[in-house]
Every structure is written in structure tokens, then in C-alpha cells.
Amino acid sequence: FVAPRTPLESHVAEVWQSVLGVDRVGVHDSFFELGGDSLRAVALVGALRDAGYEVTVRDVFDRRTVARLSELMGEARADVVDRRVQPFELLSEEDRRLLPLDVVDAYPLGQNQLGMVIEMLSDDSQNNYHNVSSYWIRDPKPFDRDAFAEAGRLVTARHEILRTSIELSAYSRPVQLVHAHAEMTNRVYDLTGLDRDAVRAELEAFTVLERADLFDITVPSLMRFHAHTTDHGGWWISVVECHPIMEGWSYHSLLMEFVTTYLALRDGREPERDETPTIRFADAIAAELAALDSEEDRAYWRELVGSHATLPLPSGWGEETAGAFDSYKAGFSWQDLESGLRALAAATDTSMKAVMFATHLKVMSQLTDEEAFHTGLVCDTRPEAVGADRVYGMYLNTLPFPYERGAATWGDLVRQVFEAEVRLWGHRRYPLPAVLREWGGTGRLMDVYFNYQDFRQLDTELVDAMSGMDDSPTEFPLTVASRAGHVILTANRRWISRENADRLAGMYRAVLESMASEGAVGDARATYLPQEERALVLAPARERAAVSVLAHELFEARVGERPDAVAVVAGGVELSYGEV
């Protein structure tokens, strides 16, 4: 531990202590080893700006210690103030005149939000982004219906996004309207007297019905909270979410707020309430609009997409008999490897996110021979301001992330991934739909995305999330998440069969085992396969019976039979057997 040496370092260290919730901060302590991540970096930058320092999240990622960050910063200034968007500011005067009287704010719908709405409302019976999840609540006391309903009224009144509706065609562009008042649908289902298997069967049937019951997006609230009472020492809460208004961090924060508000009301206590932040979701929309006007952002994405190939999933890996939307979840726990993985993050002066994302990129590189390719990374677009982590909204933007071969060791690869994310950070608000329109061509830009999730606000002693049920479909053939010490793959079986999803999970496990055991010096160029598959590859060659006809002889016979038949297709070029 090295104590701060200057007044500036002392002040910065105090802000770090407050934001990170640690007892002390040495000037050379790594932000990530102290528990930092992208959301805490957003909060840290907001606090430093409030203190008068001009700094960005990219600066925090790049410098990573109080000493190095202080070298970048000048003295505190009184004029460092982030301007907030005023109500209705982002709408034209003509659109404002059309607004209903009960609307207290309105602003454009984000492009990713619009894409989700289109996917959700498309006439294919899939209802993408209309999500239903259920969680077991450990609570032995009798359930209180009135407290549950009151919790819904309170949280809806607190948060603008829960009073928000969506209008696609009544204005000059798609907009979201914040209403002064909204009702949240809350129902209670009595499952007492049923055994655990029967309760789970009821929840599964409930999920099917709720997945088919789309929201009317013009009427808030676009969230539903339901309870299923049991006599097993607790109850189930089911959350039905219109994903276009809310992402994972907001969702889990709301889940905890709802449950703790209910418990306080049930027990006759005043529910706890944080001070309302000055930041609003409208500020994130303003930042997206600014990114669309940024030539620097356009140039970054133009170069990245143009210089890195699209990563397609292997052909022939799906199940021909699977339905169009049949999905399968594969995965495993990496908690037994955590100490080694955290040691790798510390040795490279990076983050656990960089380690887990490097694992993903390594596995994807084993599915292609491209030297440089891109795959999707889910990015958070929250404004860099105090309280932004407590303002609910849809802050996700899934963007192409560049990968280039060449890293010899795990240390090299993790640092390469971390540095690429630092470069991307300042451009993360340029929306994926705009990237697709301008540089995506006619095909799919991404088949796969990776999402690093750390929902530390979830009290797992109260909410048993890992035993829960979740149905949250998307249009992506394969999604990979790192969450709560697990790698979770969700595969569309038309693209990735159960067997191949399990094979991929085995590859992730093999890479993580090498990273954890070999650390920064481990071989990043080797191929890592599931143990049973690797054993087959390394087994001695088996003798095979001699063949009577060789391959070139079969080809010659085909030339004689049908010389005009197509033999080779490469891009737009076709060659017949005779031409070959």
C-alpha cells in the first residue's frame, strides 16, 4: 500500500473509496483489483466530474490507478458541469403540439429500442424481446397481496421508464412518452398445496401463456409483476418485461427494489428510497443522437467493419428437424477456476471481463480460419454521471468487436482484448442499426454476441436467481453470457444443435482451465477442445481397409458422365467438371 502523496492524489483517492466502497485506496492499486467494472467506472467519472475534474471512463480504463489518473488531470474547476436534457427538448415543436395532456416528457425512441420493438411485433409467433422470468423468493412469512400491489404502485411512480409508452407512427419519428401516472399489472396465483414439481409445472404453463400475451406498447406500464404463493417456505415472483424499455442491470435493480419494497410494506416499515438522480434516460438518447452526428464515430465503425470479416457459424451444425425458434441452453460453472482467472486478470492489469471475453474470442477463432474477424459485444451506453446506475432504461448496444490473430500467450490475448475495448469505449453509443444500414451489406453482420453480466445488486440470499426460469428470446442464432460464475450459451437449434452447443461449452471450459492453470504464459495459439473430443484427436490412427477406387478416379468418371455439371462454387464463380 502506497499512500497518496499530493492533495490531488488524496482527493482522487477519496472519491475512489466512496464509489468503490473500500476502506482505503493506494495510489498504485488497480481500479479492477479494487472491484471496479464499467458501471463503477461510470459512477467514478460522474463523481470526479461533480468534483470539478475533466475525465472520461476511457481515461479510467487506460490509467487504472490513482497515480496514473492524477497525472492526466489538472486542478479541480468550478465550470466542469454536465448539461442535462430538459423535458421535451429532443422533440420538434410540431411533435410537441400533438402530445397528450398527461405526458410529462417525450423523446425519440433509440434505434436499438426500435429494432427490438420491430422484432417483438413481427408476425412470426416468436415475440422476441418479450421476456418472462421467474425467481424463488426465500420468505417464510405469510404472503400479503395488498403489500404486493402497493409495491407495484410505488415503484411505478418512482421511475419514469415504468410510466413510459411507445408510439411508432403518430409523430414525425418513433417516440417514447413519459406519463404522469401509469398502472402496473400485478396478479397473485395461489399454488399452496402443490408439491415442488407441480409448482414448477404451473410456472412453465404460466410462462407459455405470458409469452403469448404481448404488451400494448401504447399503454404503460410495460412491465408486469406476478406472485405465485406456495407453502414451501417462500414464493415465486414472475416478471414479464418489454425488453425495449429495460436492460439487465436496470431489470435486476428493479427486481430487488420491488421485492425489498414489498417486504418493507408487509412488515410495516417505511420502504427505503435513494435520492432521485438528476440524470435521466433521455440523456442517453441525447448521447445516441450526438453519436449519429459524429464523423469520428462513423470513421471508427467504417474502418472496423471494413477491415474485419463477419464471423459466420459453422454450416451443418444445426438440427434440420428443429423448429424455427427452438432453443437450447448449455453451460457450466467456472467458480472452481475463479482464483486462477482473477490472478490472470491481476497479472495483466486488466479485468475479469477482459479474461472472459478473451475466452469467447479464442473459442470463436477455432470456428474460422479468418485472420481478422468481428463478433458481437454487448456494450452499456449509460451516461457518465452520478446516479446513472440507478436510472432504469434500455442502455444496451450490441456492436462488432474486432479480433486479430497473433497473441502468443493468454497474457498477450487478454491485454489485446482489453486495449481493443478501451479504444471502442468512446464510440459505443453509435447504434448497431446505423452500422448495419451503412456497412452491413445485404447479409447478417453478426450471428453471435457475448454479454458479460455482473448483477452484484442482487441479494442471492433472498432471491434464488440460479434456480429460476427464464424465457428471453432474441433473433441471434447464438448468444454467450458470463454471469454469476457461469458461462451460459443459448443456441437456436436450427443453427446450433444440442450436441454442438455442448461441444462449444466444452471448448469454453477447456480454454478457461488452461487460463486458470497456466496463467499469463499459457499458450494462446493451441487448439482447445472438450476432453473427450481431444482424446479422439490424439488417439493412434486406426488401420482402414484398402479402397479399390481413388478420389481422382471418381472425379474423372464424373467428368465423363456429366462434364457440364457444376463442380466448384467460390463466391460468384462456378466451374463445371469439364472446366476443372
All 3 cell numbers of residue 153? 404502485
Q: What is the pLDDT of residue 273?
A: 83
pLDDT on residue 568:
84
E strand intervals along 183-310: 185-190, 223-229, 234-242, 309-310
More confident residue, 155 or 275: 155
pLDDT score of 537 more than 70: no
Interval 539-543 mean pLDDT? 66
Q: What share of the chain has pLDDT > 70, as a percent?
A: 96
**Helix (H/G/I), strand (E/B), else coil: 216:** coil
3-class DSSP state of 185: strand
Is pLDDT above 70 for 269? yes
Provide the pLDDT confidence category of residue 136 given band limits of 50, 70 and 90.
very high
CB 370 within 8 A of CB 545: no
Which carries the bigger pLDDT value, residue 376 or residue 384? 376
279-300: per-residue pLDDT in tens?
A: 999 999 999 999 999 999 999 9
Query: What average pLDDT score do residues 491-507 get?
Result: 95
For the chain, helix, strand, coil in percent to 5 are: 40, 20, 40
Of 150, 136, 152, 143, nearest in space to 190 by CA: 143
Residues shown for the chain: 580
**pLDDT, tens only, 67-101:** 999 888 877 666 655 779 999 999 999 999 999 99
pLDDT in tens, 193-202: 999 999 999 9
Task: For each of the domains in the chain, give its residue range(s) and CATH number, in order of start.
Answer: 7-72 (1.10.1200.10), 93-266 (3.30.559.10), 294-537 (3.30.559.30), 545-580 (no CATH)
Residue in 236, 254, 247 with CA at minimum distance from that of residue 131: 247
State residue 16 phi and psi, 5-degree precision.
-60, -45
Which of 13-22, 439-448, 455-464 has the lowest average pLDDT?
439-448
| Position with higher pLDDT, 577 vs 534 | 577
Residue 97, CA atoms < 13 Å, CB-side half-sphere: 4
What are the C-alpha distances in Å from 358 to residues 49, 281, 292, 432? 32, 31, 29, 22
Contact 212/127 with Cβ under 8 angstroms?
Answer: yes
User: Mean pLDDT, to the nearest integer, of 458-472?
Assistant: 88
Q: What is the pLDDT of residues 410-431, one digit of tens each?
A: 999 999 999 999 999 999 999 9
For residue 480, pLDDT beyond 70? yes
pLDDT at site 237: 97
The answer to whether residue 536 scores a pLDDT higher than 70 is: no
pLDDT for res 434: 96
Cell of 163: 410510466
Written as nine digits, the cell of 143 is 404472503
pLDDT of residue 159: 96
- Among 214, 477, 443, 204, residue whose Cα is nearest residue 325: 477
121-130, 233-242, 369-378: least confident range: 121-130
